[in-house]
Amino acid sequence: MHPRAGLKPRMLAFAIDLLLFALYLAAFFAVNMAGLSDVLERIYPTIFSSPLAFDALAFSTVILPLILYFSLMESSKHQGTVGKRPLKIRVVDSKGQRISFGRSLLRSLIKFLPWQLAHTAVIRITLAGPSTGLMLLSIGAQLLVLLFVIHIAFNSQHQSVYDRFAGTFVNHAA
Sheet strands (E) in the chain: 89-92, 169-172
Looking at residues 64-74, what average pLDDT do you find?
97
Q: Is the pTM of this model over 0.85?
A: yes
b/e code 15-40 from CB counts within 10 Å (16+ = b): ebbeeebeeeeeeeeeeeeeeeeeee
> Is there a contact between 79 and 90 (Cβ–Cβ < 8 Å)?
yes
- Given 3-state DSSP classes, what are the helix, strand and coil percentages for the chain, each rounded to the nearest 5? 70, 5, 25
pLDDT in tens, 73-127: 999 999 999 999 999 999 999 999 999 999 999 999 999 999 999 988 988 888 8
